[in-house]
Chain A
Amino acid sequence: MADFLQILITAIAVGSLYALIALGYTMVYGILKFINFAHSDIFVLGAWTSLTASVCVITWLKLDTQQPPLWLAPVVLLCAMVVCGGVAFLVERLAYKPLRKSARLNVLITAIGVSLLLQNVGQLPGFTAAEKDGRSLATVPFGPSPSRMPSLLPDTSLISVPFPSGDPTIPAASVQVNLVDVFIFVSAMVLMFGLQHLVYRTKLGAAMRAVSFNTETASLMGVPVDRVMSFTFVTGAVLAAAAGFLYALKYPGLNQPAHEIWVLLGLKAFVAAVVGGIGNVRGAVLGGFLIALIEFMGMYLFSKYLDPLMGTNMGTNLRDVYVFSVLIVVLLVKPSGLLGTPVREKV
């Protein structure tokens, strides 16, 4: 029971991260109508920028490494958002905008190219940005080694409930809710409602929906289509930056930017967007939680019940299989996703 609850809590925290990334995918797909493969790399950029920025600030201002002041977190988050937004703006302007009129396939390929570019630039051995005792602590670009994100939030568990197990030989396990998990969940919720408000309650949001619905009509109605598209793209990147920042807080040991795991993480978030119904803000969040739940519960249930039966231990290895199977099932049963509206084909 304790294990189950603990995994549930983790799944919710991870689901919040998926949801944040999925929001970016869903917005870009909803309006620009292509899978932005580089989105996961913007997310990685966000995580690594947070790391580099916090190490730099801590070193330059000689702050306490173990317990840095609380104001650092928002500063670092802002920094990550600015960097990611800027890079996304450049990418959009230089690589995607010229292709707006060409085949979607071309944009997809370009996105793959941008993704490869960001990954491989990210892992180049960089220039030292912060050093201590002649030892380089942070570089720009980020280099090929993993690194540690300083803990910007106090490492405390808010709730810790001990669960005695029925079996006396097995000690009581406790279920913990950590500050960082709550922080991630709350941030994801705030950003989601903010986005919801932006899309459905503001003039800009109306313009975005108009462009998504029909680009040509929108432009005839006086909507500055190009600017709306750029704005959407940058907003998606800013959300990815926030997700990257939160990810770095939860999992401080960051893998190097070209690690395959980042692409997989991005793919799972995309799956979340598709499962929830692409182009739908609430759908992306729902999908994020759903995918995380299925991934973690799949691992837990398979390794608890099926593995002992089969004499294997592959329950946790198949985590990606659960996610992609769900995707295939959802697409076969309801191709528009759980909350999406089916698109009528026009002849």
Chain B
Amino acid sequence: MTWFSRSLSGPRSERSPASRGARNVLASVAALGACALALGMAPKSIMPSTPGDSMAPKPASGAPILVGHYGSLTGPEATFGQSTSEGIRLAFKEINAAGGIDGRPIELREYDTKGEPKEATLAVTRLIKSDKVVAVLGEVASGLSLAGGPVCQEAGVPMISPSSTNVRVTKVGDMIFRVCFIDPFQGSACAKFATGELKAKTAAMLYDQKAPYSVDLAKEFKRAFKKLGGDVVIEQTYTGGDGDFTTQLTSIRARKPDVLFVPGYYTDVGNIALQARKLGITCPMLGGDGWDSEKLAEVAGKAIEGSFYSNHYAPDQPDEQVQTFIAKYKADYKGKTPDGLAALGYDAAMILADSMKRAGSLDGKKLRDAIAATKDFKGVTGVITIDANRDAVKSAVIVEMKGSPLGPKYRATVTP
């Protein structure tokens, strides 16, 4: 007989609970003990306290206010969750150093979603029901915000998503807000730029069929681009993480588009740009805010030069607030340039803190009203006003990858 049955029958015939019962039990408990050992983990709970100099305001010292964040800190999308988390922590550190909310520091409670909806639901439930946070920040991915949002809505705890661009996210209920622009706006901003500044008549699209963000943005771009008189001559898809895009890019090459729209994440765009240039596709590439990371220039190098993407801010903006944010972030995180997600996390946290101050109460409804009343808030990612749909109304900037060192440089502003 094959190994399979033999190996299974072997151990069974020599064991029995009667003679070995106690040993079995002991070993079971050893295993249970190992389970228990694993409990020795702790959540990310940070209460940053910066020793301020004599000129700075007194750091907050009262009873901490708990704020929750759920994000993909591990798993395939870990890089997105961790960037957001870094932005949020930086914001709360600043707020606490400046006296907190009426003298009370903000304490961040963070849980991992591993990029799975089930985990997102449980993480938010735990934040609200067990930790009793006053507000929730997160998630990056729209699919996970849609899983966590209803929990917040039902419990009456406001949630601010830093970067979920899907239209449905804030339709969950009146407790759900976001500080980023939504897909239709970004899609039309890109389309406007493509037809206007780039004078593109034809466009090719290459998007990540696995990422909702990419699929939706592609759809919106197509709609807007057609409306502006352009024509999407070819649509190709890939799966996030793929290494090889030759098949898609050769098909695109044959259609000779004026612009190649790639609304993916920077994790893939680098390889796409490298291969596109190698195959002789010379037209400019255009993308969304998913491109925004210093890793893009690092991976793609010269291949991405002369490409554009829409973003929340341009790091070379002379704006003082943007520059201070970048400097502080670099100081805190080993010289890393903040990506778009970090900036949005920072702004989400800042708007939340600002609303807490204005609300004068931590009650869910009052806090919600205060967040909804946010108007002309000067954030790193632009001037933010929350509209009736609880979405952020703000302008997008189009940046160009150029210069030395290669990086995003301001090119144009698109207002809603």
Establish whether A and B are touching in the complex (CB under 8 Å).
yes
| Chain A interface residues toward B at CB < 8 A | 2-3, 6-7, 10, 14, 33, 102-105, 120, 123, 125, 128, 131, 133-136, 144-148, 157, 165, 170-171, 173-174, 176, 178, 247, 250-253, 255-256, 258-261, 264-265, 296, 299-300, 303-304, 313-314, 316-317, 319, 345-347
* Known contacts A3-B250, A102-B7, A317-B237, A174 near B244 by CB under 8 Å: no
* Known contacts A148-B270, A173-B250, A259 near B334 by CB under 8 Å: no
Cβ-based interface call for B279 (8 A): yes
* Known contacts A104-B4, A173-B280, A256 near B254 by CB under 8 Å: no
Which 5 interchain pairs have the tightest Cβ spacing? Answer: A261-B241, A144-B78, A135-B335, A251-B243, A253-B270
Q: Is the CB of B271 within 8 A of A128?
A: no
- CB < 8 Å neighbour of A252 from B76, B235, B274: B274
16 residue pairs A–B, Cβ–Cβ below 8 Å:
A3-B254, A14-B244, A103-B11, A136-B335, A144-B78, A144-B82, A145-B295, A146-B79, A146-B267, A173-B280, A253-B268, A253-B299, A253-B300, A300-B247, A313-B235, A317-B239
* Known contacts A128-B334, A250-B243, A7 near B250 by CB under 8 Å: yes
- CB < 8 Å neighbour of B8 from A103, A125, A256, A317: A103
Q: Indicate with 1 or 0, residue by residue over B235-274, a CB within 8 angstroms of chain A CB atoms.
A: 1111111111011101101111000000000111011001
B336 proximity list for chain A (CB < 8 A): 135-136
Q: Is the CB of B237 within 8 A of A105?
A: no
Given A256-B76, A296-B246, 7 additional A-B pairs, CB 8 A:
A3-B250, A7-B246, A103-B8, A133-B335, A253-B274, A261-B243, A319-B239
Cβ-based interface call for B102 (8 A): no
B82 proximity list for chain A (CB < 8 A): 125, 144
- By secondary structure, the B interface counts as helix
Q: Is the CB of A253 within 8 A of B267?
A: yes
Residue tally, chain B, CB below 8 Å to A: 53
Cβ-based interface call for B2 (8 A): yes
Q: Whole-angstrom distance between the alpha carbons of A14 and B242 in the complex?
A: 12
Q: Which chain A residue shows the least CB distance to B234?
A: A313
Q: Whole-angstrom distance between the alpha carbons of A252 and B335 in the complex?
A: 23
Q: Is the CB of A345 within 8 A of B299?
A: no
B33 proximity list for chain A (CB < 8 A): none
Q: Whole-angstrom distance between the alpha carbons of A44 and B56 in the complex?
A: 48
B79 proximity list for chain A (CB < 8 A): 144-146, 256
B118 proximity list for chain A (CB < 8 A): none
